[in-house]
Amino acid sequence: MKKRTEEILKRLDGVYGRDIPCYLHYETPWQLLFSTIMSAQCTDRKVNEVAERLYKKYPTVKAFADAQIEELEQDIRATGFYHTKARNLKACARRLLEDYDGQVPRTIEELTSLPGVGRKTANVIRGNIYHDPSIVVDTHVGRISRRLGLTEEKDPARVERDLMREIPKDHWIAINIQFIALGRSICTARSPKCNECFLSDICGGI
């Protein structure tokens, strides 16, 4: 591992630690899966607000599978793109019941075969539920990875590939939440607070 990357990880661990909770609230694996599907183009805060009511109204995977699509659309309307998300939630619930006895599968291949689930969502599940080393590339992770010079790619799958090469596997899960925390508080998209950043002296800049 490059000494610069090692220093980046050391500082991130020092500021944020590695035991950082997931920003999405959930009690069961399927709740995290469904919340992550709803989180596309939506803030975690808004998803958590919607999910608190949603999982009381639909307390099981079967309840989602049996939901009236028009009603479900209105229940999740606040998350945006609610037509597509509602269809994906209902279809995903059916697939979980039909193919996995209502349980959330583990492998990247199984997860990405589910409606509404791409690599990002699959890796959220793999890391948070099964603790399998995985890198979740959202907008924060992608932006900060480029600014730190860890990748030049913009495509999430290629960013993920570069980070998997650069970051040791024992940091893969932690780096997701650390970069998100940094991206929300300091290394923001429009007005990064470089003068407050603990990585500014080794950053590639914006």
Residue owning tokens 């300091």: 186
- The per-residue DSSP string of 15-74 comes to HH-S----SS--SSHHHHHHHHHHTTTS-HHHHHHHHHHHHHHS-SHHHHHTS-HHHHHH
Which letter does DSSP use for residue 167 in this model?
S
Structure tokens at 127: 């890391």
Catalytic annotation on 120?
A: yes
What residue type is 126 in one-letter code? R
- Rounded to whole angstroms, the Cα distance separating 82 from 38 reads 8
Cα–Cα separations (whole angstroms), residue 189 to 79, 144, 146, 147, 204: 21, 9, 12, 11, 15
- Spot the catalytic one: 13, 132, 138, 162: 138
Catalytic annotation on 138?
A: yes
- Spot the catalytic one: 75, 85, 90, 120: 120
Catalytic residues: 120, 138
